[in-house]
Structure 1
Amino acid sequence: MTYNEIIDCLYDLQDKDKVVFKAKKLGIISNNSLGIYHKDLKVIAKEIGTDNQLALQLFDSGIYEARLLCSKLFKPKDVTEALMEKWVKTFENWEICDSFCMGLFSKSDFAIAKILEWSERESEFEKRAAFATLASYCMADKTSDNGLFEPFFSVIKRESNDDRIYVKKAVNWTLRNIGKRNVDLNRRAIEVAHEILEFESKSAQWIAKNAITELQKEGIRMSDYPRAIYRIPIAKIHEA
């Protein structure tokens, strides 16, 4: 599909009622939106395949759904710091933030550097981008040892008092995902959650309680990354 054909396709799918629904029910408020569900964009992206030049054209169109398509068409290994900075500054809701973070940023060569940098940003969705990228990176990186992830606990603790909904949800998401990486990080994440529980802010209290509930529940789905080290059956983990 050419650029013009894709744009025509997006306008054919336009539904202003969905714009209203997404804003009211899902908190997805966006400029220049046509009202197309994410699942429908995935179908279009699968048909197109990866295409960096087309992805850049779609982003620069300014159409919200075209920008979402960009995150699905661009090759993660071709992402540059300049593009990451260009894109992150435009994020206006959790949907587009998470689409870029999960699909591109967490798989890029600059993931760790940007996680650290963005976690100190003031903008709600730039800060969320740090934690959404890390939450996805935890599951995408199957080979790094615990030493790579343990320093992020201090970042999580530092930002756990941010009461903005899309920041605190991402901080919680990250804590839970690190804790699901393997049995040792699970135990450490629970310890960190109890440390956060000592903070007085409502956001910290929510982050900690939710993480503890999730990380201690029976039958929790846990990975064993890096696999060369963690080969303990999940059943035995719960017996420990």
Structure 2
Amino acid sequence: MKPTVAAVIKELRALANPEKVDFKQKKFGVIAQNALGIYQKDLKELAKEIGKNSTLAKALFETNIYEARLLCSKLFNPKDLTEDLMEKWVVTFENWEICDSFSMGVFARSPLAIPKAIEWSTRTEEFEKRASFATIAGYCMADKKAANSTFEQFFPLLYQAADDQRIYVKKAVNWALRSIGKRNVDLNKRAIEEAQKIKQLEFKSAQWIAKDALKELEKETVNILDYPRSIYRPKK
């Protein structure tokens, strides 16, 4: 397939299934405008076939077709990301799926990840605010060499947002906290301490965030990733 907008849209329409639109809405709470009904696995296969192409990705986003925008997040090279593009895209997020696809696949892999995550942490709109914490969660995997101090700066943001009762915000705050706590043993200890602080807040959202995070982070079998490996798994 020649990687043109017309060719890609033709391929997307061939994959379309209206029943999947209804299924994703009922099963996963994914409500999207102009959706064709295509699962992530099929979009990933298509993205692999096409390869990274930022120009094509941006053009696909402009079609306003939901799955074309999801595909954009898989084709766009994070090295080409600008602050203007981040702001243009984040305000369009209408559900957790597209928010997380961009946050993890593009934003978290960009040098702009940290400043924008910090900025967005106080946004009013649900999925703009979720993008902050989804980007933090993604950054925990994207930058395997970052120092612990890089992640410790996020703890005040998590604490501040723990009073947000909206499901997709509180889940992202919890996700970010757990992700930080699984990087290495030292951040695990710090994340547990932060969870205990959040647990002292009176908000129901804070209680859930803290208890759910502690349930995983305090397990003996918690999957600690040992990043940066040069410190936590030094070669002998």
Question: Among residues 38, 41, 50, which one is paired with 1:39 in the alignment?
Answer: 41
Equivalent residue for 1:3, pick from 5, 23, 34 = 5
2:127 paired with 1:125: yes
Q: Which amino acid aligns with 1:112?
A: I
| 1:13-63 deviations in Å (ceiling 9; x for gaps) | 111111111111100000000011111100111100011111111000000
Residue 216 of structure 1: aligned partner: 218
Aligned-residue offset at 1:175: 0.3
The reply to whether residue 99 of structure 1 matches residue 97 of structure 2 is: no
- What CA distance in whole angstroms lies between the structure 2 residues aligned with 1:146 and 1:109? 17
1:108 and 2:93 aligned: no
- Secondary structure (helix, strand or coil) at the match of 1:217 reads coil
Distance in 2, Cα, partners of 1:8 & 1:150: 46
Equivalence for 1:236: none
Question: 1: CA distance between counterparts of 2:72 and 2:233?
Answer: 38
2:16 equivalent in structure 1: 14
Q: Scaled by the length of structure 1, what TM-score is found?
A: 0.95
The code of the aligned residue for 1:174 comes to A
Q: Secondary structure at the match of 2:230?
A: coil
Letter in 2 for 1:54: L
Q: Whole-Å Cα distance in 2 between the matches of residues 28 and 214 of structure 1?
A: 26
Cα distance in 2 for residues equivalent to 1:40 and 1:223: 29
Greater shift in the superposed pair: 138-147 or 105-114: 138-147
**C-alpha distance in 2 between matches for 1:42 and 1:35:** 14
Q: Which residue number corresponds to residue 65 of structure 1?
A: 67
List alignment gaps of at least 5 residues for structure 2: none
Q: Measure, in 2, the Cα distance between the counterparts of 1:152 and 1:52.
A: 29
Which residue type is aligned with residue 31 of structure 2? I
Q: What is the Cα deviation at residue 218 of structure 1?
A: 2.1
1:128-166 C-alpha deviation (Å, 9 max, x unpaired): 000000001011111121111112111100001101000
Letter in structure 1 aligned against 2:99: C
Identical-pair percentage: 62
1:147 pairs with one of 146, 149, 156: 149
Alignment partner, residue 235 of structure 1: none
Letter in 2 for 1:204: A
- Separation in 2 of the partners of 1:67 and 1:142? 28
Structure 1 residue ranges, 4+ long, deviating more than 4 angstroms after superposition: none
Residues in 1 aligned to 2:14 and 2:139: alpha-carbon distance in whole angstroms: 35
Separation in structure 1 between the aligned mates of residue 25 and residue 63 of structure 2, nearest angstrom: 22
2:198 corresponds in structure 1 to 196
C-alpha distance in structure 2 between counterparts of 1:150 and 1:62, whole Å: 38
Q: Distance in 1 between matches of 2:145 and 2:189?
A: 19
Instruction: Output the TM-score relative to the length of structure 2.
Output: 0.96
RMSD: 0.9
Aligned length: 232
Name the counterpart of 1:169.
Answer: 171
Deviates more, 1:222-231 or 1:103-112: 222-231
Q: Deviations over 1:168-206 (max 9, x none)?
A: 000000000000011011011001111111111111010
Give me the whole-angstrom Cα distance separating, in 2, the residues matched to 1:193 and 1:55. 38
- Name the SS for the 2:183 alignment partner: coil
* Aligned residue in 2 for 1:80: 82
Structure 1 residue 231: Cα displacement? 2.5
Q: Point out where structure 1 has 5 or more consecutive residues left out of the alignment.
A: 233-240
Q: In 1, Cα distance between the equivalents of 2:142 and 2:224?
A: 14
Q: Aligned to 1:228, what secondary structure does the other structure show?
A: helix
> In 1, Cα distance between the equivalents of 2:46 and 2:143?
27
